[in-house]
Amino acid sequence: MSTHTEQGQKVTTLTLRHMKTTGEKIASLTAYDAAFARVLDQAGCDFILVGDSVGMVVQGHATTIPVTVDEIIYHTKMVARGVARALIMADMPFMSYHTVDDCLHNAARLMKEGGAEMIKLEWGALQIDMVARLTECGIPVCAHLGLTPQAIHKMGAYRVQGREDATAKKMKDDALALEAAGADVLLLECVPMDLAAEITRAARVPVIGIGAGPAVDGQILVLYDILDIAPGKRTRFSRNYMHDRDSIHAAIETFVGEVKRGEFPTAEYAFS
């Protein structure tokens, strides 16, 4: 269990940076309401993401694209009511940050109305300027690279990103550019584990993986996936933690413990 969990300290951006420095793994899950947020907080999650995955696992959409800013604010408010320790991160929904002005306006709403303590945006050509401006305004940022679900119609399929030399180099360059612009956390989704390890070694800020192998600074999964209640086929990089567990709390504690001890993910849940 995390030393910060034992001390009951509120997790901040400084906490996450300290954990990277000391080598303590960061454990995170998504949540969309107060009840689950409370369980995740008590189980030792270091941050909780109010993800636009709510569109798929709660609302029943085929993609994350229909999710609105108002909906993320609504769910972030609920999560905030259930959290005492974990940092609260909220997704910027599709097309809510296509200009710097819109990005600032909607990020401010997520923090002021929703109670978010960090916002997450998916990487695109304009995001370096946006990250720099958000940083200037005192808004903590997580930059999401690799598989970016909001671009699913452009990509055409959910698939591993960064296997080709050129795309791998661009992803590493982008990660370091986003860090230089002020990103507090980098999140890599569906990235080959060797590339994720290389980016993690090069970055000074924490690197969180979802389908990015074991060498990153921390792991995040969608809560409904690890509880085996998400619709459709479970992703390769996720695991059913309800198997042989007698409660949701036990399943979440097991996930957190395995991340902290470096037992999850194994190569079975990663990409080469």
Rounded to 5 degrees, φ, ψ at 168 are -65, -45
CA distances from 215 to 125, 134, 204, 210 (A): 27, 29, 14, 12
Please enumerate in sequence order all residues whose Cβ is within 8 A of that of 39, keeping only pairs 6 or more positions apart, or say none. 248, 249, 252
CA 93 – CA 208 distance, rounded (Å):
20
The SS3 assignment for 93 reads coil
Tell me which residue has tokens 């598989």: 147
Tell me which residue has tokens 């929703």: 114
Task: Please list the residues that pair with 210 across neighbouring strands.
Answer: 189
The DSSP element (H or E) to which 51 belongs, if any, is none
Q: Omega into 206 within 30° of 0, i.e. cis?
A: no
- Among 71, 189, 253, 258, which one carries the catalytic annotation? 189
| Catalytic residue status for 189 | yes
CA 214 – CA 193 distance, rounded (Å):
7
Rounded to 5 degrees, φ, ψ at 98 are -80, -10
Please enumerate in sequence order all residues whose Cβ is within 8 A of that of 106, keeping only pairs 6 or more positions apart, or say none. 69, 92, 96, 97
The SS3 assignment for 5 reads helix
Tokens of 172: 């590493």
Half-sphere exposure (Cβ direction) of 179: Cα atoms closer than 13 Å: 18
Q: Which residues are catalytic?
A: 189
